[in-house]
Structure 1
Amino acid sequence: MTRNRTHERPVRHARGRVRLTPWGKIALGTVAVLMAGTAGGGAYMYQRLNGNIESSALFSGTTGDAGVQKADEQGRFPINVLVIGTDARSSEANCKLGGACDHTAANADVQILVHLSADRTNITAMSVPRDTLTQMPGCENAETGQSVSERYGQINGSLVYGPGCSVAAIHQLTGITIDHFVMVDFAGVIAMSDATGGVDVCVTDDVYDNYSHLKLSKGSHTLKGEAALQFVRTRHGFGDGSDLGRTYGQHAFLSAAIRSMKDTGTLLNPTKLYGVADAATKALTVDEGLDSIPKLIDLATELNKVDTKRITFTTMQSAPAPTDPNRVVPTEAAQKLFATIIEDQSLSKGPNETSTPSPSTSKASPGRDFEVQVRNRGGADGRAGEMTALLADQGYDAETDASAGDLETRTSIIYGKGQVDQAQQLAADLKMPSSLLTKDTDTDTVTLVLGQDWTEGDTYPKSTKKDRQEALADSNARAATKSECVPVSTQNTVKYNGVSMTPAEAYAQATDKKDSAS
């Protein structure tokens, strides 16, 4: 997919159909291979799959947008997709799968932000707990006419006003640009797990969660149908029994599903492949940027460039909310995780692969004979003067901006219209990643803003193993290649016959209940 060599682009607030990590990446890869394998003879399949697609607007916030994506030095863009699992009972099939059958309400059981790096070497999939309390944006759902003003509330409730409101809420919470969304409902999870032939999972102990109805004995199991849905919806059975425990099961399930698609030959079997693609396209609602098979193929091609070992699942770090111990708020560590994703830094084990801009290769190189303002917002005394002298020695027309201002966490280079090559040249000399370049149409001067992340040294500090560990601290990180048993809660997180007990104790007593995997 060829793009113009620009260094900013607004995300497409349109309709489409996507699918990334969760149950998303599986279907996208499926569709891509299916279309390649049926070229010239798959017109009926193409029309059938294309007709399955449903879409809605990417962004439905009443102010702002879903962010502006930035290119690296080679003109490549990262791709961020919000994957939403909805608990909506908006169809007869979904009503039969548990809970109150309410056709007017929908909350997000799953919120996973999937980041595909600009150089296509790694993927980070970050879960945002559904119980997160945050300042919510105002939204207006063009399809239903429902609207809501800004307020403080639980983030998964934004889905009531459409997936475009969930996009607005997650972007406002994290600051991460969102390019696409994909939404799947209860029935969709079942259809896709059946089409793939089941997913292998493992639990550390016997578990019975009478809320989701998941009942499994200790060890490994292959889950299909309703059992798969029970597994990804379980919260009282895993971890500490909270919504964070639910993410443990979701990450394990999705990792296993990705491995299964590659290991069982599904992608090479036309019959199996069509079944998965058909189930996937029927199950999903996406934004307008992915509302056709060709668009899905483009995205799938990019996703499939990433090796499984370079896919990292994480959970937004959180702490109990001061106003409600049963809800959570992001911690300071979460801000580090957000920043790492924004800066397109790899969280997979191995060397940091974040790109650093190279000097302009255009015929009319900007050289270094241009004005650079240096502004100190990092708190280190005399820092702007030091960097001004350094840049002057390198040939820049550097001046110190002595204006006062608030401290800023991250360093940045701000540039105006027609100054992208100059900003790139400066970033290359200072070894700054391209993610720190910001365009401002109201300025005509390149400005280096020194933040708290760079208070000493002549070049921008490299991301280290320590940085990666800090970003992943307390985030339940795991690689998609790892096959680990999900930890069953050891606390009294479930009730059986009105008595609080552990999931293992409930399993022992629930002899009249059929095991999910049997």
Structure 2
Amino acid sequence: MTDPRESADGARPGDGPAPAPGGRAAARAAARRAGRRSSRRGRRKPVSRLRRVLRTTAICTAVTVVVAAGAGAWFYEHLNGNIHSVSLSDGANGDVGGKEKADAFGRTPINILVIGSDGRNNATDCKLGGGCGSATSTSGRNADVEMVVHVSADRSNATVMSIPRDTITTVPACKNPDTGAATPGYRGMINSALAYGPACQVATVHQLTGIPIDHFVMLDFSGVVKMSDAVGGVSVCVSDDVYDTYSHLKLAKGRHTLKGEAALEFVRSRHGFGDGSDLGRTYAQHTFLSAMIRKFKSAGTLTNPAAVYRLADAATKALTVDTGLGSVNRLIGLANDLDKVPSKRLIFTTMQTGPDPTDPNRVVVGKGATELFATIADDQPLTTADGAKTKPSGAATSAAPSPTVPAAQITVRVQNGTGIGGRATAIAAALTAKGFAPGTSAGNAPAPAASTTLTYGPSQKDQAQTVARALGLPAAHLKQGAVAGLTLVIGADWRTGSAFPGGTAAATPADTKAAVSNAHAQTADQGSSCAQVSHFKTVSVGGVPMTPSQAYAVSTKKKDSAP
């Protein structure tokens, strides 16, 4: 601000007369005035440049935000568009998989049926699956991989139970809404139910195990290839040289990173591992999935945007899911729930089996399986906080566990005391579907019954407990009689359904030690374990039966599946 005492030329009163124009004094005054003007211009110039920079930055930032938002929206819509979803109630009369029950805090477990389809319904799957030689080879599909994935209500632990595809069970009445194919129900291999749609496969597994199934996830041959490539390969170990001449898997002893078709050959191999049956294949699949889970959880996989995009894009393209999982948000929610479970508390098991009395090439539900089913249905953990397998819990820990009798050895007389037609038939069918003896029968009770009772003969309490656990029947409904045999009278307190109302929580806790016995249990953190190559002559080369290791040794011209 200008001093009011200053004159127009900048001199102050009392400074004396102004210097005459010209001379050194005038030159100095002119220089001072020019300096002040130059200084003022110099101070304004950086401010103007800063404003231009800020304006440019703001415009670029705004454009970046708009582009990023547009890309995010495109990415979200793109992934949603990839997902193929199917209703679990299509053609199957409502909730075919049952309903989960909440715990004391209102939390519910998650049970998902993972299905690996052998369908050859497109050119890619035909090539990967070994060709489509005829019209019948593309007319249907089987669930050659079936795993029940259970995540506990508190998300602290999880169980993955494989069901061998060779299991014989009762397939319920179903209709495929896509093809119109229908069945009134039959007894056959469990994997055949997929021909009548994913909902039928879910209904069949639920009927066999009594485990509520909330969701399903299905992928085909090409889906396995896409997923293994998306994660950059999966590291697995084989105990010996192996060549499965059927799945074409050929690996030298040791550790390998499997991608693409090599990964598919590994998870499809049933002649290379174990005893050469489908049981051996489930064991190898657990090794593969454990390694994939460790890869997901490893540093870098889920923090790399490019890797996340490849994985998300591959997953949504590869999977068919139920409508309850049919959006990116729901799949992300499921992934978050699974990610909460530590690897040491995620246990892989295989349903215990026994030989089918009518066919040596097939299996039925075996000893311990009903206990395994019950632990999952009752949300009981099979690992402790440190990752060790659990010991018997609940009532089973206070005394020696009662002997477990295989369901296949138990025959039940089911009698209807409700006055509602068909109740005994429905429960008898549910029992045989769970693997109980085919001699299980249905009929009417001598008189109406207000409550349900299961009467057992002398020394048959263990059999009665197996039946009670399969049906969710509380121990208070069991009583000993004087006559041999088991008689289940359905009372007025059980008017609908194949599981006793509210009975699961009240039923005696399953023996978790029996549940993992002979179930080939292993946790996902066991990274050093190798898939055990079969020592049986399960393959052949030139018509000569050989072990997979012998086949590897003589097939020198066959290229290995992975280095």
Query: What is the TM-score normalised by the length of structure 1?
Result: 0.72
- 1:505 corresponds, among 513, 536, 550, to 550
In structure 2, the partner of 1:346 is 381
In the TM superposition, residue 468 of structure 1 has moved relative to its aligned partner by 2.3
Change over 3 Å in CA distance of 1:173–1:149 after alignment to 2? same
Q: Deviations over 1:161-190 (max 9, x none)?
A: 111111011011101000000000000110
In structure 2, the partner of 1:57 is 87
CA–CA separation in structure 2 for the residues paired with 1:318 and 1:447 = 28
CA–CA separation in structure 2 for the residues paired with 1:150 and 1:163 = 15
Within 5 A, what are the aligned runs for 1:264-343?
A: 264-343=299-378
In the TM superposition, residue 144 of structure 1 has moved relative to its aligned partner by 1.2
In the TM superposition, residue 138 of structure 1 has moved relative to its aligned partner by 1.2
In structure 2, the partner of 1:485 is 530
CA–CA separation in structure 2 for the residues paired with 1:268 and 1:210 = 39
1:77 equivalenced with 2:112 (yes/no): no
Contact map agreement 2:474 2:507 (CA 8 A) in 1: no
Contact map agreement 2:115 2:144 (CA 8 A) in 1: yes
1:409 equivalenced with 2:468 (yes/no): yes
In structure 1, the partner of 2:59 is none
Q: Which has the larger radius of gyration?
A: 2
1:227 equivalenced with 2:262 (yes/no): yes
Q: Deviations over 1:442-484 (max 9, x none)?
A: 9xxx999899976xxxxxxx77xxx322110111110000021
Contact map agreement 1:62 1:137 (CA 8 A) in 2: no
CA–CA separation in structure 2 for the residues paired with 1:274 and 1:66 = 32
- 1:173 corresponds, among 205, 208, 230, to 208
Contact map agreement 2:302 2:308 (CA 8 A) in 1: yes
Within 5 A, what are the aligned runs for 1:377-392?
A: none
Higher helix share: 2
Contact map agreement 1:59 1:168 (CA 8 A) in 2: no
Change over 3 Å in CA distance of 1:403–1:335 after alignment to 2? closer
In the TM superposition, residue 264 of structure 1 has moved relative to its aligned partner by 4.7
Equivalent residue letter for 1:327: R
Change over 3 Å in CA distance of 1:469–1:40 after alignment to 2? farther
Contact map agreement 2:125 2:220 (CA 8 A) in 1: yes
Within 5 A, what are the aligned runs for 1:64-103?
A: 65-101=96-132, 102-103=137-138
CA–CA separation in structure 1 for the residues paired with 2:156 and 2:353 = 28
Change over 3 Å in CA distance of 1:474–1:354 after alignment to 2? closer
Contact map agreement 1:135 1:153 (CA 8 A) in 2: yes
In structure 2, the partner of 1:476 is 520
In structure 2, the partner of 1:251 is 286
Within 5 A, what are the aligned runs for 1:104-143?
A: 104-143=139-178
CA–CA separation in structure 1 for the residues paired with 2:143 and 2:127 = 18
Contact map agreement 2:129 2:221 (CA 8 A) in 1: no
Contact map agreement 2:92 2:200 (CA 8 A) in 1: no
In structure 1, the partner of 2:431 is none
In structure 1, the partner of 2:427 is none
CA–CA separation in structure 2 for the residues paired with 1:168 and 1:52 = 26
CA–CA separation in structure 1 for the residues paired with 2:199 and 2:304 = 35
Within 5 A, what are the aligned runs for 1:315-464?
A: 315-350=350-385, 405-406=454-455, 407=464, 409-410=468-469
Query: What is the TM-score normalised by the length of structure 2?
Result: 0.67
SS in 2 for 1:42: helix
Within 5 A, what are the aligned runs for 1:123-202?
A: 123-202=158-237
CA–CA separation in structure 2 for the residues paired with 1:448 and 1:255 = 35
In structure 2, the partner of 1:372 is none
Contact map agreement 1:80 1:114 (CA 8 A) in 2: yes
In structure 2, the partner of 1:381 is none
In the TM superposition, residue 409 of structure 1 has moved relative to its aligned partner by 2.2
In the TM superposition, residue 296 of structure 1 has moved relative to its aligned partner by 1.3
Equivalent residue letter for 2:556: T
SS in 1 for 2:128: coil
Contact map agreement 2:88 2:96 (CA 8 A) in 1: no
SS in 2 for 1:66: coil
In the TM superposition, residue 60 of structure 1 has moved relative to its aligned partner by 4.8
SS in 1 for 2:144: strand
CA–CA separation in structure 2 for the residues paired with 1:450 and 1:115 = 16
Change over 3 Å in CA distance of 1:183–1:451 after alignment to 2? closer
SS in 2 for 1:69: coil
SS in 1 for 2:125: helix
Change over 3 Å in CA distance of 1:403–1:165 after alignment to 2? closer
In the TM superposition, residue 206 of structure 1 has moved relative to its aligned partner by 0.3
1:48 equivalenced with 2:78 (yes/no): yes
Change over 3 Å in CA distance of 1:299–1:225 after alignment to 2? same
In the TM superposition, residue 492 of structure 1 has moved relative to its aligned partner by 0.4
Aligned length: 400
Contact map agreement 1:176 1:342 (CA 8 A) in 2: yes
Q: Deviations over 1:95-151 (max 9, x none)?
A: 111334232110112100000101111010000000100111111011111111111
Unaligned runs of 5+ in 1: 1-37, 357-400, 415-438, 455-461
Contact map agreement 1:207 1:215 (CA 8 A) in 2: yes
Contact map agreement 2:241 2:252 (CA 8 A) in 1: yes
In structure 2, the partner of 1:420 is none
- 1:211 corresponds, among 246, 266, 269, to 246
Q: Deviations over 1:411-439 (max 9, x none)?
A: 7569xxxxxxxxxxxxxxxxxxxxxxxx9
Equivalent residue letter for 1:92: A
Q: Deviations over 1:347-403 (max 9, x none)?
A: 1134879999xxxxxxxxxxxxxxxxxxxxxxxxxxxxxxxxxxxxxxxxxxxx998
CA–CA separation in structure 2 for the residues paired with 1:254 and 1:285 = 19
1:515 equivalenced with 2:550 (yes/no): no
39-48 or 193-202: bigger deviation: 39-48
In structure 2, the partner of 1:239 is 274
SS in 2 for 1:68: coil
CA–CA separation in structure 2 for the residues paired with 1:115 and 1:206 = 34
CA–CA separation in structure 1 for the residues paired with 2:130 and 2:248 = 11
SS in 1 for 2:324: coil
CA–CA separation in structure 2 for the residues paired with 1:51 and 1:199 = 27
Equivalent residue letter for 1:253: F
CA–CA separation in structure 2 for the residues paired with 1:449 and 1:341 = 15
CA RMSD across the alignment: 2.9
CA–CA separation in structure 1 for the residues paired with 2:391 and 2:79 = 36
Unaligned runs of 5+ in 2: 1-67, 395-449, 456-463, 476-492
Query: Using CA pairs below 8 Å that are at least 6 residues apart, which structure has the higher relative contact order?
Result: 1
In the TM superposition, residue 242 of structure 1 has moved relative to its aligned partner by 0.1
Equivalent residue letter for 2:130: G
Equivalent residue letter for 1:300: A
Change over 3 Å in CA distance of 1:350–1:328 after alignment to 2? same
Equivalent residue letter for 1:194: D
In the TM superposition, residue 332 of structure 1 has moved relative to its aligned partner by 2.9
